[in-house]
Amino acid sequence: MIRFILNNKLIETFDKSGITLLDFIRDKNQLKGTKIGCREGDCGACTILVGTLKNDTVNYKSITSCISPLGNANGKHIVTVEGINLEKELNVAQQVMADNFATQCGFCTPGFVVSMTGFALQNKENSNTCTDAISGNICRCTGYKSIEKAVNVLEKKLLTIDETDQVAVLIKEEFLPNYFKTIPERLKQLTFAPWLNVSGGNFVANGTDLYVRHADVLSQQNVNLVGDVASLKGITITDTICKIGASVTVTEILKNEDLIEVFPKLKDFLKLVSSEQIRNMGTIGGNFVNASPIGDMSIFFLALNSTLHIIKESERQIPYQEFYKDYKKYDLREGELIAAISFEIPDTNTKFNFEKVSKRTHLDIASVNSACKITLENELITAASFSVGGVAAVPKFLSKTNAFLKGKKLSAENIKEAEKVLQTEITPISDVRGTNIYKRLLARQLFFAHFVELYPDRIELGELI
């Protein structure tokens, strides 16, 4: 049985765990405020909040319910736009939208209002802006200016409130209805099975790849959910090694203070990945096994010379660079699960960078993306590790280019020579994201960009092009 709280109501259901939360909410519970737009995680019309109990507080995040399996709601608080209504008046998010004429046909409005409420519920320490929080919401009518005004007003209101007890304050300030204060205690009382383990069938982490392609089939099934399995979560960092569980989401990485210390520009890098809602769901294990040649997290971790930890009865470890064999073919045997990825913490001589070019800055997959890790000692490159996506059948680790650079002086001349080697390693094809010629050009530009970004005092763009 799946048990959770939907708005203010306890849900106990034997429905298939693979049905989408969107269909469960709209069809089984007649809550029609959550809209159906694209059913692909792209438009944000179906945005809901998911609250997870941690210690005594509930952490809320926004997700797109159209590509989320019902089973992942187990033990949580699911909030739809109806669940943030106050008894009589509009709540603050609804009121600022109305005051700023930020709604026309109104179809997108519930999604925006829920995302804005999700933002209000986040801790202020998080450097997100409310504009980031609505990055996964699309409006076809307003042209966004009025929505921008509305979120700015909301943000200003939030700056003035004390956040010692965020939920209590948000209730007092009319962002949230009263019943929210009862949720932590009610979730504590809820008994539920954390992993709906069904023999056979594929693993589903948080579904952002699988449900775009197979929602119809998965909706008919009880699915093997691994997104909440405790042993696949968690980020641990020792002096030399970092290990990240396969079910850790992009948002969890982006907000991890220890990782930000290791990669000071982590937030800038990862804000280029999808949208707030999708980052809140998408796991690294899902990104690796989806095996898209342009998977952002794949490219990121390839350049770190990472090790994959794979489990079944026992654990085996392989270099991540050896995981991909051909287009969507990889070294994972029947029933095996990726448990984690680990990598050496870059030392003080080592720098890391990530670059991505896509048609839209946000909520778009890359045309070409690239990451690199370079160790420089006494002007010599003692180790180089570059990866590039969108230019081969697999996320590409540039072994020849890396070997070429090793032991070379850091100079414009050597970088230009290395780029020639890079071009021999890639085999881009023309598709909707660009022609093969364009992608070769992008691979070159991103390769150069890494050096200019990491060593601005030594390498100038003008010397390279």
- Give the binding site for ligand FES (CB under 6 A): 36-39, 41-46, 64, 66, 103-108, 139-142
Within 10 Å of residue 368's Cβ, how many Cβ atoms?
Answer: 28
Please, which residues have CB within 8 angstroms of residue 9's CB and are 6 or more apart in sequence?
none
Q: Which does 106 bind (CB under 5 to 8 A by kind): ligand FAD, ligand FES, none?
A: ligand FES
Of the chain, the end-to-end C-alpha distance in Å amounts to 62
Using CB under 6 A, pick the residue from 29, 128, 251, 287 that binds ligand FAD. Answer: 287
Regarding 302 and contact with ligand FAD (CB under 6 A), the answer is: no
Tell me, by CB under 6 A, how many residues bind ligand FAD.
34
CA distance 328 to 293: 8
Q: How far is the CB of 30 from ligand FAD (least distance, A)?
A: 26
Q: Which does 338 bind (CB under 5 to 8 A by kind): ligand FES, ligand FAD, none?
A: ligand FAD
| Residue (50 or 170) nearer to ligand FAD, CB | 50
CA distance 93 to 415: 51
| Residue (209 or 276) nearer to ligand FAD, CB | 209
Q: How far is the CB of 210 from ligand FES (least distance, A)?
A: 15
| Residue (46 or 79) nearer to ligand FES, CB | 46
Regarding 208 and contact with ligand FAD (CB under 6 A), the answer is: yes
Q: What are phi and psi of 437, to 5 degrees?
A: -65, -45
Stretch 131-150: interaction string toward ligand FAD, x if CB under 6 A: --------------------
Using CB under 6 A, pick the residue from 365, 372, 398, 459 that binds ligand FAD. Answer: 365
> Where do the DSSP E strands lie in 55-196?
57-64, 77-79
Using CB under 6 A, pick the residue from 18, 33, 37, 41 that binds ligand FAD. Answer: 41
* DSSP character string of 325-349: EETTEES--TT-EEEEEEEEPP-TT
Regarding 202 and contact with ligand FAD (CB under 6 A), the answer is: yes
Regarding 286 and contact with ligand FAD (CB under 6 A), the answer is: yes
- Alpha-carbon dihedral 89, 94, 96, 98, rounded to 10 degrees: -90
Strand bridging mode 203-204 / 224-225: parallel
Nearest CA among 87, 423, 119 for reference residue 280:
119
The pair of three-digit structure tokens given for residue 103, joined into one six-digit string: 């709604």
Stretch 60-79: interaction string toward ligand FAD, x if CB under 6 A: -------x------------
Within 10 Å of residue 345's Cβ, how many Cβ atoms?
Answer: 17
Using CB under 6 A, pick the residue from 273, 303, 341, 446 that binds ligand FAD. Answer: 273
| Residue (79 or 308) nearer to ligand FAD, CB | 308
**In a 3-state reduction of DSSP, which class is residue 20?**
strand
| Residue (41 or 71) nearer to ligand FAD, CB | 41
Chain centroid to Cα 47, Å, comes to 15
Q: Specify the stretch interacting with ligand FAD by CB under 6 A; choose among 34-42, 47-55, 390-398, 415-423.
A: 34-42
Cβ(203)–Cβ(64) under 8 Å?
A: no
Residue 352 Ramachandran class (φ > 0 left, ψ -120 to 50 alpha, else beta)? beta
Q: Which does 367 bind (CB under 5 to 8 A by kind): ligand FAD, ligand FES, none?
A: none
**Contact residues for ligand FAD, defined by CB under 6 A:** 40-42, 67, 202-210, 212, 226, 232, 246, 273-274, 278, 281-283, 285-287, 289-290, 295-297, 337-338, 365
